[in-house]
Amino acid sequence: MPVQTKLMARRKKRPLPLLENVEIMDAGAEGKAVARVDEKVLFVPFAAPGDIVDVQVYKKKRHFLEGRITALKKVSGYRVEPKCAHFGLCGGCKWQHIDYAYQRRFKQKQVKDSLDRIAKVPYPGIQEIIGAEDIYFYRNKLEFTFSDRRWLTTLDPVAAEGEMLETRGLGFHLPGKFDKILDIDQCYLQKEPSNDIRLAVKAFAIEKNFSFYNAREQHGFLRNMIIRTSTTTDLMVVMIFGEENEEAIEMLMNHLAEKFPQITSLMYVVNTKKNDSIYDLEVRLFKGKDHNMELMRAARPDRKPLYFKVGPKSFYQTNPQQAQKLYQTAHDFAGFNGDELVYDLYTGTGTIALFIAPSVKRVIGIESVEDAVEDARKNALENDIDNVEFHAGDMAALLTEDFIAGHGVPDVLLTDPPRAGMHPKVIKQILQAAPGKIVYVSCNPATQARDIALLDEKYRIEKVQPVDMFPQTHHVENVVLLVRK
């Protein structure tokens, strides 16, 4: 198309509307609030149900609109003052402006809506959501990104805009932007010394004139930083460098070790690839241990607590206090009598399998990631648990009639799949095996409800228990007990 024709086509485009006095009705998908305008759904980030706002539409589709607040005309009774100065631009805590009691209410409603609209099967009343005692500083892992350009918020959650400064920054990616980093001063997600470490590294790097990474041109010395705290006193820092510069690496790592003697595991990675993943790279130990130790109380008070080694690449629930409640719920829903054979699908590093193992005869864990299975086996040895076995492989390919014939039909099946839910082949095999009970743990009530609809052929819902793992966000975990009809 000629340039002149393109310009004419742009001029003919009608400007997107500014909507006035819009009443926000509900909390919706991906943390956005919901309104209705001219029979269309309008999604508005950083709004609260009960707000009356003016909204500038920035996306118009056939069945829905998206817009941002330009004026707050009436403040919802659900609103509170956000604690974080970066609220409105950072994508990490999108519900920080909503009172926590109402956050829990909206999350419970999300579970109910999924069961009603997607599963469409009978279920008993949903038990009251298990809330978090700590609604800030609850994460045990954060990853920060260095950038040779930093983006600053206007500190106005209504505007939700930012400006780029020609200086170096260390913080989080702006939502949907791989090359824009929000420079973070104070983050309320991870306990100290997380903020102190991040700010000290940034200050030292600027003082020494180390180069910060440029994601578009893919060069720079400082690339990422991972901080892992723990339920014990362990503290891990992993620096990720974009260049192999021994002198600069030694200088920065020594500075960290001297300034923060409480770091028990100090490591680094050199990543010269085009992506940020370190799972295929060597992690080099600079000082201390190569892992954190996590502590979890046993499911039964007469059993000793569990310890889990968490390495730089290991997966472990990022909210350990709520993970304890989640696993306890799954354990209690199953109602073990001690004689059961249990299958734990999508077992990860075996945390749930090892948590329930003392209460049953045997547990068989299945996981697609080989490294995770290796961690699970090590954790079993660490805790002197010998009634578990772990298998690595694609779930749909591994869980077959032959596998079940060789290992036994489970009495109880526990499944904790990723957000996408279970593969239809897995559901079909579960229906064929027909265990007496299924405990379905999910981080996505919508895909969980979809799978429950397929399992309805042989199973009825006995119990439903939401658990809030991530305060200040829209995410909710849900546990459902299914009993064979």
Asked, for residue 264, whether it belongs to a domain, the answer is: yes
Across the chain, mean pLDDT equals 92
Domain count, the chain: 3
Give the residue numbers marked as catalytic.
443
| pLDDT greater than 80 at residue 284 | yes
Do 325 and 473 fall into the same domain?
yes
pLDDT at 156: 41
Asked, for residue 11, whether it belongs to a domain, the answer is: yes
Cα maximum dimension of the chain: 79
Last residue of a domain, one of 290, 310, 340: 290
406 φ, ψ to 5°? -80, -25
We report the CATH number of the domain holding residue 61 as: 2.40.50.140
Question: Which is nearest to 441 in space by CA: 395, 480, 482?
Answer: 480
pLDDT at 152: 56
User: What's the domain range around 469?
Assistant: 104-134+319-484
Going from the C-alpha of 428 to that of each of 29, 57, 344, 365, the distances in angstroms are 29, 44, 16, 19
Do 34 and 179 fall into the same domain?
no
Pure H helices in 317-438? 320-334, 351-356, 370-382, 395-398, 401-407, 424-433
Do 229 and 336 fall into the same domain?
no
Name the token pair of 27: 């909390």
- Cα separation of 146 and 220, whole Å? 9
- pLDDT > 90 in the chain, percent: 83
What are the residues facing 364 on neighbouring strands? 343, 389
Specify the 3-state DSSP secondary structure of 152.
strand
pLDDT digits (tens, 9 = 90+) for 66-112: 999 999 999 999 999 999 998 888 878 999 999 999 999 999 999 99
- Cα separation of 278 and 282, whole Å? 8
- Cα separation of 61 and 32, whole Å? 16
- Cα separation of 49 and 43, whole Å? 12
pLDDT digits (tens, 9 = 90+) for 285-307: 999 999 999 999 999 888 899 99
Do 115 and 146 fall into the same domain?
no
Name the token pair of 443: 């981080």
Do 120 and 213 fall into the same domain?
no
pLDDT digits (tens, 9 = 90+) for 30-72: 789 999 998 899 999 999 999 999 999 999 998 899 999 999 9
CB 124 within 8 A of CB 226: no
Asked, for residue 98, whether it belongs to a domain, the answer is: no
| pLDDT greater than 80 at residue 175 | no
Three-state secondary structure readout of 70-130: EEEEECCCCECCCCCCCECCECCCCCCCECHHHHHHHHHHHHHHHHHHHHCCCCCCCCCCE
Do 341 and 261 fall into the same domain?
no
Do 343 and 255 fall into the same domain?
no
Q: In the Cβ-directed half-sphere of 272, how many Cα atoms lie within 13 Å?
A: 3
